[in-house]
């Protein structure tokens, strides 16, 4: 997951950097590092966000959306 993809996902979820940090259990500084590309997004966090997207799609289908 690129820095741009990570930031886009945070914005898609409607979360601030602080809220995203709390949501995934990291510091706000870590979010900044991921979004600026100073550090790569760890694979477990990438998988967490991906699984959330899959869950959202499945629940949309179940609701007939």
pLDDT in tens, 5-61: 999 999 999 999 999 999 999 999 999 999 999 999 999 999 999 999 888 888 877
Domain containing residue 26: CATH number? 1.10.260.40
Domain, as residue range, for 35: 3-63
What is the reported pLDDT for 56?
A: 85
What is the reported pLDDT for 62?
A: 77
The count of structural domains within the chain is 1
H helices of 1-65, where? 3-12, 17-24, 28-36, 43-63
What is the reported pLDDT for 15?
A: 96
Nearest to 24, CA basis, from 59, 50, 5, 54? 50
């Amino acid at each position: 997951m690129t820095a741009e993809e990570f930031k886009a996902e945070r914005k898609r979820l409607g979360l601030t950097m602080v809220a995203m940090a709390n949501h995934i259990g990291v510091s706000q500084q870590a979010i900044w590092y991921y979004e600026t590309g100073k550090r790569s997004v760890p694979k477990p966090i990438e998988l967490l966000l991906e699984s959330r997207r899959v869950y959202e799609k499945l629940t949309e289908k179940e609701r007939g959306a």
